[in-house]
Amino acid sequence: VYTEPNENLRIKWKTRRDCMERGYSQAEVSKSLSKRNTDREDFVQPQRTFADMVVSFYPPEERTQETGAHLNVRHTLRPTLPHPDLSPILEAGAKKGLRLELARDIDGKPVDVLEIAGNVDDERASAMENLLWELIPEAQHLRQSVGTFTDESNKQTLSHPLALSQLMITYHVVKAALGHHAI
């Protein structure tokens, strides 16, 4: 899995984490980001090519300052893994915040792209979450905390796009542990 958030979002997340949790100043975080940019370009970004799944969070057009529960997320799913059949949910979901389509990745290779809108309605998101939970009964003990994070106000918040992303990743980890390996 390669995580590729929108660049402005990545910087906001890193700054917030390093200032709030690690005690750095904004100037120190900014200097660190600049200093490590070459390493990121040389060693981190090239790993994207080898990822079975690329997860990209980004703010919706109508809420460009969004950094939390209502971010959109794009899953670029390469055909190197057997992905779960989400068609029962997706067939009726395009207008309700979920969409799956065939596309070409930045390297020109064919991929499936699963788009989850930050404003996906609770009913549609819950239906997809339940479908994924049914496919991974081995992970039921994680159900309570999936999709939750601590927001800027230091409150526990639920994000359906985060929950669905965590479940997609968990699905693949559990299946690999059970011997359902990549192609």
Helix/strand/coil for 135:
helix
Continuous H helices in the chain: 7-20, 26-39, 87-90, 122-135, 160-177
Mean pLDDT of 17-43: 92
Percentage with pLDDT > 90 across the chain: 77
Token digits for 88?
């029962």
CA-CA distance, 75 to 54, in Å (whole number)?
A: 6
Q: Tell me how far CA of residue 156 lies from CA of 32, 116, 149, 152, in angstroms.
A: 28, 21, 5, 10
Q: Does the pLDDT of residue 141 top 70, yes or no?
A: yes
Q: What is the pLDDT of residue 152?
A: 84
Q: What is the pLDDT of residue 21?
A: 87
Model pLDDT for residues 163-173, shown as the tens digit of each residue? 999 999 999 99
Helix/strand/coil for 58:
strand
Model pLDDT for residues 81-140, shown as the tens digit of each residue? 889 988 877 776 556 788 999 999 999 999 999 999 999 989 889 989 999 999 999 999
pTM for this model (two decimals) = 0.89
